[in-house]
Amino acid sequence: MSKSIGHMIASSNPQRVLPKTISAKNIPDVLIHEIIDGIPLYRKGYRDVLAKTKTVEDIMGSSSLQAFLITYLTIWIGKQIDEHKYHILTNEAGLHLDRKNNLAGDLLIFDSIKLTIDKINKNYASVPPLISIEVDIDIALEDLTDHSYINLKTRKLLDFGAEKVIWFLTESKKVMVATHDGGWQSFDWNCDVEILDGITCNVGQYLKDKGSDFA
């Protein structure tokens, strides 16, 4: 475990996602992955769609590694979690924070007292998750660095009421954990990481056990 790395991640607010040569008015809403502070953040590969070298369907999916890890985390946590106390939402689950902020989550764990069954409908969830888990970054990073985006989204989630935000990053093989009171911590992904209620996961060990070159 490293020391807190909050100071390593510079806070940043996106001022302009698109250069002036591309008008946001000409970009279909389907290419928007999230909206933060009223500014659309576009899906990776959206420029290829605009250039007509790829279709929308070509960029909608996750990489096989990203999907593999999200599936592992969902099944592993789902086997151990108290389904009466918690709800798990996945598949880019939408979060409506306010009129200027809509986020997407790879895996969100909610207190069932807050996300009651009557609030599970065709709209984005409008209550904060207890735990937000992200595997990699799904937006096109243009005016943002990876660290500034992670910091920005994490801060939005914590301010909204999330207790913990966990990032699994396949490029660096790191896990970054932010809590409302404890700041940031960084782990090698071969370490056990607690999700909640004593439930832990170890992404690196799981990949090693499966014989993956990414372990």
pLDDT (tens digit per residue) in 162-202: 999 999 999 999 999 999 887 899 999 999 999 999 999 99
Average pLDDT, the chain: 89
Nearest to 153 by CA among 37, 69, 20, 4: 37
For residues 140 and 145, what is the distance between their CA atoms, to the nearest angstrom?
Answer: 10
For residues 213 and 91, what is the distance between their CA atoms, to the nearest angstrom?
Answer: 25
Eight-class DSSP state of 43: B
Question: What values do phi and psi take at 52, rounded to 5?
Answer: 65, 30
Domains of the chain: 62-209 (3.90.1570.10)
Q: Calculate mean pLDDT across residues 85-90.
A: 97
pLDDT (tens digit per residue) in 131-164: 999 999 999 988 899 999 999 999 999 999 999 9
How many residues comprise the chain? 215
Q: In which band, very low, low, confident or very high, does the pLDDT at 25 lie, cut at 50, 70 and 90?
A: low
How does 50-83 read in b/e, with b if 16+ C-beta sit within 10 Å?
beeeeeeeebeebeeebebbbebbbebbeeebee
Give all strands (DSSP E) within 15-65, no chain letters.
32-36, 39-42
